[in-house]
């Protein structure tokens, strides 16, 4: 396993180049954990296939004057619609972990979502973001991803800590409280935010006994009443992450979600589910007024353009941030974000869009409209 480069290797020009290099910079067990999906990796592969299957329709001759990529989301100003997804245990990719990735995000004006399962504390991550923003003279929104804890008092403690540290929104992840994982963290990496909090134990029962249903793990899975409870606990915007069903989207918004992340968790939780890009139009129709973010498989600026065209306000970048972090630390993540932003702007220009709101479903070629 090689340490991170201090300079970005000359042959890196896109997110997939970081992935290729990263295999040599991450320990083998951690690499399998990061890269893997559920079961046969059908969902993992399908996330890419579904994005690849869409065609964008260039629109030359449109004026690109006075263009920009700015947007306002939940009352917060973003310079562009690329955010770093909450990704656990970034210490697996680089000793500086989340401290490096949040500094890169601020430098590139990318929104950052710190995971509950960060290898640095949420307070240290926020302090690094705030110090970077002071140094730079600008920054970007900082959000906290919340995993419900076995006891509500610990969920509430995380929420209050996030509010006190200056996080500007809560991203409540609801699709991964029950998932298989055989990965054991190395001793150098821990869930820094959860020190002193009891972990959910799921010990195998006797053969013939309860497997999952009827165990404390299943009983504690987040439910709609937990959404109402959480909504009542904070004034911060509340974003529900991990929605694929239009019906669930409508229920979540009706119970107080301010926005949704359409996501299948990068194919890590359940095999054989639709790609977020496929369900996006139906979710857009089900919750016409709610801001939607999307992740799972975004690797190119054109992927982001497809998601924005079909109704997302912004996209989240998952695994590629770990790849870039492992290859070249803070510089790698900054370069990754610059690369994706450049690709997105190139796509916007080709699509005749000087601003994000000009990107509509018309930018995606509809096979059925072929004459």
Q: State which residue, 67 or 95, has the beta carbon closest to ligand FNR.
A: 95
DSSP-derived pairing of the beta strands 259-262 and 238-243: parallel
Q: In 3-state terms, what secondary structure has residue 112?
A: strand
Distance of closest approach, residue 149 Cβ to ligand FNR, in angstroms: 13
Alpha helices in 36-109, H assignment, sequence order: 42-53, 97-107
Selected binder of ligand FNR within 37, 86, 139, 352 (CB under 6 A): 86
Among 111, 237, 291, 318, binds ligand FNR (CB under 6 A): 318
Instruction: Compute the least distance from the CB of residue 206 to ligand FNR, in Å.
Output: 31
> What distance in Å separates the CA atoms of residue 329 and residue 335, rounded to the nearest whole number?
10
With contacts defined by CB under 6 A, how many residues of the chain interact with ligand FNR?
A: 22
Neighbours of 192 (CB within 10 A): 19
Shorter beta-carbon distance to ligand FNR: residue 87 or 253: 87
Residue nearer to ligand FNR on the CB measure, 25 or 268: 268
241 part of the interface to ligand FNR, by CB under 6 A: yes
| Sign of the Cα pseudo-torsion (228, 229, 234, 236, in order) | negative
Q: Which range, of 17-25, 243-251, 265-273, 329-337, touches ligand FNR by CB under 6 A?
A: 265-273
The answer to the question of residue 263 lying near ligand FNR (CB under 6 A) is yes
Active-site annotation holds for 80: no
- Triad 88, 92, 95: Cα angle to 5°: 110
Which segment (100-108, 226-234, 311-319, 362-370) binds ligand FNR by CB under 6 A?
311-319
For residue 303, give the H/E element and its range: helix 301-309
Q: What is the spatial distance between Cα 318 and Cα 321, in angstroms, rounded to a whole number?
A: 6
Does 87 bind ligand FNR (CB under 6 A)? Our answer is yes
Is residue 266 near ligand FNR by the rule CB under 6 A?
A: yes
- Nearest CB to ligand FNR, comparing residues 227 and 353: 227
DSSP state of 231: H
Q: In angstroms, rounded to a whole number, what is the distance separating the alpha carbons of residues 297 and 299?
A: 6
| 43 touches 367 (CB < 8 A) | no
Catalytic residue chosen out of the listed positions 120, 265, 323, 335 = 265
* DSSP label of 212: S
Site for ligand FNR in 114-153 (CB under 6 A): 115, 117, 145
Q: Pull the structure tokens for residue 248.
A: 């669930």
Positions touching ligand FNR (CB under 6 A) are: 34, 47, 85-88, 115, 117, 145, 173, 241, 263, 265-266, 268, 295-298, 317-319
Residues carrying an active site annotation: 265
């Amino acid at each position: 396993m090689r340490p991170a480069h201090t300079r970005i290797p000359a042959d890196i020009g896109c997110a997939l180049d970081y992935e290729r290099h990263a295999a040599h910079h991450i320990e083998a067990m951690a690499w399998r954990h990061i890269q893997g999906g559920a079961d046969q990796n059908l969902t993992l592969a399908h996330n890419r296939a579904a994005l690849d299957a869409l065609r964008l329709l260039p629109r030359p001759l449109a004026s690109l004057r006075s263009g920009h990529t700015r947007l306002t989301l939940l009352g917060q100003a973003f310079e562009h619609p690329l955010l770093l997804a909450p990704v656990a245990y970034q210490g697996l990719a680089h000793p500086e972990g989340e401290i490096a990735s949040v500094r890169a995000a601020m430098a590139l004006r990318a929104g950052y979502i710190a995971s509950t399962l960060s290898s640095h504390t949420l307070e240290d991550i926020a302090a690094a973001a705030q110090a970077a923003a002071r140094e730079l003279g600008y920054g970007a929104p900082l959000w906290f991803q919340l995993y419900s804890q076995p006891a509500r008092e610990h969920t509430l403690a995380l929420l209050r800590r996030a509010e006190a540290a200056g996080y500007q929104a809560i991203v409540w992840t609801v699709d991964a409280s029950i998932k298989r994982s055989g990965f054991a963290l190395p001793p150098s990496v821990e869930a820094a935010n959860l020190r002193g909090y009891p972990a959910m134990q799921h010990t195998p029962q006797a053969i013939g006994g309860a497997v999952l249903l009827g165990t404390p793990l299943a009983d504690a899975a987040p439910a709609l009443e937990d959404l109402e409870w959480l909504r009542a606990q904070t004034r911060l915007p509340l974003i529900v992450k991990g929605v694929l069903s239009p019906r669930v989207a409508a229920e979540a918004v009706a119970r107080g979600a301010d926005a949704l992340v359409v996501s299948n968790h990068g194919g890590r939780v359940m095999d054989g589910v639709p790609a977020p890009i496929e369900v996006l139009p139906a979710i857009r129709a089900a919750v016409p007024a709610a801001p939607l973010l999307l992740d799972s498989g975004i690797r190119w600026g054109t992927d982001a353009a497809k998601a924005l065209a079909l109704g997302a306000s912004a996209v989240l970048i998952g695994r590629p941030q770990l790849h870039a972090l492992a290859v070249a630390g803070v510089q790698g993540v900054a370069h990754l974000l610059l690369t994706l932003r450049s690709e997105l702007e190139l796509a916007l220009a080709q699509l005749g869009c000087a601003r994000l709101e000009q990107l509509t479903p018309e930018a995606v070629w509809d096979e059925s409209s072929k004459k």
